[in-house]
Amino acid sequence: MSTAVATTNPSRIELTLRRIPKLFNAALIPMLGITFFLFFWHVVAGNITTSLGKFPGPAQVWEQSVALYEEHKEVRAKADKFYERQRVRNEKKLAKDPNATIKWRSYTGKRSFVDQIFTSIYTVMAGFVLASVIAVPLGIVCGLSDRIYQAVNPIIQVFKPVSPLAWLPLVTMVVSALYVSEDPWFEKSFLNSAITVTLCCLWPTVINTTVGVAGIDRDLVNVGRVIKLPAATNVRRIVLPAAVPMIFTGLRLSLATGWMVLIAAEMLAQNPGLGKFIWDEFQNGSSNSLSRIMVAVITIGIIGFALDRIMLFLQRRVSWDKQAVLR
């Protein structure tokens, strides 16, 4: 009797208990996976000895990530002091002579790990946005017109498999030749990295947008023809919304590619960012280097994952197709 009553009118505790299997699936199983991985990592790392000491295990990596954050705080404090000194100096100058020309210099000391992270994120976003602004309209045009597609497709297919590192010297030379300005908006190194990212980000978005636009349900296209929608309205009201799921598939692939490309470009070109951090640590060759590189590796992974989640979130907001399985 009592159990029957309990099942028809479950208490709060019971409801929580019932949720346990779900919680188990949602949290515990991934946690188990991570724990197993950490253990495996620990065991294997202990058995690999390099010229820079043992391969870092999870503990050393954690130690170094804390150390890197402390260093960041130190660097930040130094920078703050530098700006404070500069401010005081300039004020003194102005007090003596109100017409004196004062100079504001930015801090040029060592960049911290956290600074490098933000440089990389900023660079990849710039390259990615530039690529998207080119790729989505190009993809729409290719999807709408078979002739343009046939004209553009060979070029896409040839450039798509090109490694970013092949582009990099060319981009560097072109940027230094063309981007000459007294008061540049951007640093050249930033432009080199961002444009290299753009060149590699273009293709997945172009290809997926083309496929999405070309694959729009014939009937929907015909509705647009029957009601004689003007071309621009047709793109805005029918083509774009219909292709949004595929466009986002392309954008997500592009951003993932761009992120990988950027790290490689930064390493090769010594442009500021996480790639440079890794290369510097590698050249440095201290006993902590491998752990610090491992911190960067994990950071790169987490940021890549976060970028993809942000795109997914945007896709959910923008796309009508809520049922679509987003992975």
Partner 1 sequence: MKSFLELSAMGKVFATDNEPFEALRDVNLKINEGEFISLIGHSGCGKSTVLNIVSGLDTATTGGVILEGKEIDDPGPDRAVVFQNHALMPWLTVYDNVELAVKAVFRKRKSKAETKEWIEHNLALVNMSHALTKYPSEISGGMKQRVGIARALAMQPKVLLMDEPFGALDALTRAQLQDSTMAIHAELNNTVIMITHDVDEAVLLSDRIVMMTNGPSATIGQIVDVNLPRPRNRLALAEDPHFNHCRHLVLDFLYAAHGSDGPDDDDHQGQDAREPADATGTAAAASPSKPAPLAVNHSDQAA
C-alpha–C-alpha distance, residues 89 and 103, integer Å: 10
Tokens 């297919």 belong to which residue? 157
Q: In terms of CB distance, is 195 or 238 closer to partner 1?
A: 238
User: 233, 270, 284, 287: which one contacts partner 1 (CB under 8 A)?
Assistant: 233
Instruction: Enumerate the β-bridge partners of residue 50.
Output: 53
Q: What is the distance in angstroms between the CA of the first residue and the CA of the last residue of the chain?
A: 46
Q: In terms of CB distance, is 168 or 242 closer to partner 1?
A: 242
User: 176, 222, 284, 287: which one contacts partner 1 (CB under 8 A)?
Assistant: 222
Q: In terms of CB distance, is 206 or 238 closer to partner 1?
A: 238
Q: In terms of CB distance, is 103 or 218 closer to partner 1?
A: 218
User: 12, 22, 105, 228: which one contacts partner 1 (CB under 8 A)?
Assistant: 228
Q: In terms of CB distance, is 163 or 233 closer to partner 1?
A: 233
Q: Is 226 in the site for partner 1 (CB under 8 A)?
A: yes
Nearby residues of 21 by Cβ (< 8 Å), 6 or more positions away: none
The H-or-E segment that residue 54 falls in is strand 53-54
Q: In terms of CB distance, is 212 or 273 closer to partner 1?
A: 212
The residue count for the chain? 327
The residue among 104, 264, 140 whose CA lies nearest residue 212 is: 140
Q: In terms of CB distance, is 73 or 237 closer to partner 1?
A: 237
C-alpha–C-alpha distance, residues 288 and 285, integer Å: 8
User: 129, 211, 214, 229: which one contacts partner 1 (CB under 8 A)?
Assistant: 229
DSSP label of 183: S
Fill in the per-residue mask, 239 to 278: x = in contact with partner 1 (CB under 8 A), - = not in contact.
--xx-x----------------------------------
State in angstroms the smallest separation of the CB of 218 from partner 1: 9
Number of residues that bind partner 1 (CB under 8 A): 19
Q: Is 227 in the site for partner 1 (CB under 8 A)?
A: yes
State in angstroms the smallest separation of the CB of 207 from partner 1: 23
Fill in the per-residue mask, 302 to 321: x = in contact with partner 1 (CB under 8 A), - = not in contact.
------------------xx
State in angstroms the smallest separation of the CB of 286 from partner 1: 56
Cα separation values, 83 from 106, 110, 113, 137, Å: 8, 15, 20, 45
- What are the DSSP calls for 137-174, one per residue? HHHHHHHH-HHHHHHHHHHHHHHTT--HHHHHHHHHHH
The residue among 86, 79, 89 whose CA lies nearest residue 109 is: 79
Q: Is 223 in the site for partner 1 (CB under 8 A)?
A: yes
The H-or-E segment that residue 49 falls in is strand 49-50
Considering only 82-90, 117-125, 167-175, 219-227, which stretch makes contact with partner 1 by CB under 8 A?
219-227
Nearby residues of 203 by Cβ (< 8 Å), 6 or more positions away: 135, 156, 159, 160, 254
SS3 label, residue 53: strand
Q: In the complex, which residues of this chain contact partner 1 (CB under 8 A)?
A: 217, 219-220, 222-223, 225-229, 233, 237-238, 241-242, 244, 320-321, 323
